[in-house]
Structure 1
Amino acid sequence: MTPKTILCYGDSNTWGYVPSNDHSLPKARYPRHERWPGVLQILLGDGYYVVEEGLNSRTTNLDYAPPPDRNGKHYLAPCLYSHAPIDLVIFALGGNDTKTYFNRSAEEIKNGLAELIDIVQTSEYGQKLQASPKILITTPAIPMPFVENYLDENGVAFLRGVVKKVECLIDLYAQLAKEKNCFYLDISKEVKPSEIDGVHYDSAAHKQCAAIISKKIKSIFKE
């Protein structure tokens, strides 16, 4: 039997950014077997092929400078084609859109993700290259309140209001899933960011994230 291909399209927590409160140091990355997509592969087994497409600072559809190429909309179509045929696309995005630089409401972030969903649903990169892949929308984890005091190199509090926005996204993503006929999973009740930086997952959170997504995937494919 051909394994089902699962594409994990996300940001730094999909990439495996190791939590750190010293942003002057080079970014560290968990090895594949500790990142949630890698753990997901282990849990699902040989009947699935899990593709990691995580990128630090990735947004839904916003340009981010610096660094460049973080706009999730720009890369999505070639990414789908590259890994086709795909059975399921998992979106794990929205957290970076909450940054104050973008002055974006939770509703606008929802609309940004909707544009990515449209790209997937109007493609033919699913089964036999004749249909679109299924989609699973996952929520961000809720950041810890202290992150709202973080300052960038210019002294700007770039995460002010993010906790409230992410809390709003939980319900808005559920609405979006209904509107677009997608699957939905709220991971925020069980997956918590590290106390080190209040945003990124530690190894235990990656395992927890993979466990609940694995259960959802098996439900989607009725296993």
Structure 2
Amino acid sequence: MPTTKHILVYSDSLTWGIIPTTRQRLPFEERWPGVLHAALNAGENGRIRLTEDCLNGRRTAFDDPYKPGRNALSGVQQVIEAQSPLDLVILLLGTNDFQSMHQHKPWHSATGIAALINAIRTAPVEPGMPVPPILVIAPPQLDNPRGPIGPKFEGGDVASRGLAQAIRQVSGDAGCAFFDSNTVTTSSTHDGVHLDADQHHALGVALAPVVAKLLADGAAD
């Protein structure tokens, strides 16, 4: 019987599945991790368990002045420890680094990703448990943030230009797999920030062969 492989997705509201212009949430099977989970388990990859740890407003390595606990770096090692053993960690973060309360450039956000990669690799997992490989996903480019969330992201579409390239660079430097979501989707056509249901589906489908290969490569090590 094949061994169950465990994937952790560590992300924000783009993955939590907030429905643009609302505070509602898409069901698991319609969120991209659910689409990915179904695709992987339908293939010949054995059994896959996927755990989501996704928090609305989560930044890479920065605090939200209005809501506590949104700094991904401050808690990631405990999450890795709690969920281990892991066969893969998927990071999709960066969008919230460009909320209007911040004055960040792509370099700042990408450096936050680099810090997260290091934290994951040095998490205090139990002896003998593996250090998981990491897949870093660049979020879709912000596009004229609008609707109820517009003021929160005002100017973020300009400030974040070049984010995908910056994240690609730090991922490559760290020896992590990288996927640019901009190759398969845009940000929401409704609010310019999140993902619409069809975009979740497109991203999940596109990631399936990428993740399957990473799991297969890991099993061969």
Could you say which TM-score interval applies, normalised by the shorter chain?
A: 0.7 to 0.9
User: Which position in structure 2 is the counterpart of 1:180?
Assistant: 174
Superposed structure 1 runs of 4+ greater than 6 Å apart: 149-152
- How many Å separate the matches in 2 of 1:58 and 1:124? 22
Q: Deviations over 1:97-116 (max 9, x none)?
A: 01231211110111111111
Displacement after TM superposition at 1:79 (Å): 0.8
Give the TM-score normalised by structure 1.
Answer: 0.87
Q: Which runs of 5+ in 1 are unaligned?
A: none
**Aligned residues with identical type, % of pairs:** 28
Match of 2:47 in 1: 47
Q: Find the residue that maps to 1:193 and give its secondary structure.
A: coil
Q: CA deviation at 1:158?
A: 4.0
Matched pairs, number: 212
> What's the counterpart of residue 67 of structure 2?
67
Deviations 1:122-164 (A, max 9, x none): 23649951x311000101111222x1x6787xxx944243224
The alignment's C-alpha RMSD in Å is 2.2
Instruction: Report the 3-state secondary structure (helix = DSSP H, G, I; strand = E; otherwise coil) of the residue aligned with 2:161.
Output: helix
Which residue, 20, 24, 32 being the options, matches 1:28? 24
Say yes or no: does 1:122 pair with 2:122.
yes
Structure 1 partner of 2:11: 10
1:92 equivalent in structure 2: 92
Task: Give 1:161's aligned residue.
Answer: 155
Listed one character per residue, the Cα deviations across residues 32-87 of structure 1 (whole Å, up to 9, x for unaligned) are 11111111111111521111111100001111132221111122111111110011
1:86–1:125 contact (8 Å) kept in structure 2: no
Amino acid at match of 1:116: L
What amino acid is aligned across from residue 119 of structure 2 in structure 1?
A: I
Shifted more, 178-187 versus 67-76: the winner is 67-76
TM-score under structure 2 length normalisation: 0.88
1:208/1:166 CA distance change after superposition, 3 Å: farther
Task: Kindly indicate whether the alpha-carbon contact (under 8 Å) linking 1:4 and 1:49 is maintained by their aligned counterparts in 2.
Answer: yes
- Find out whether 1:204 has 2:204 as its counterpart: no
Q: Contact between 2:88 and 2:215, CA under 8 Å: does it hold in 1? A: no
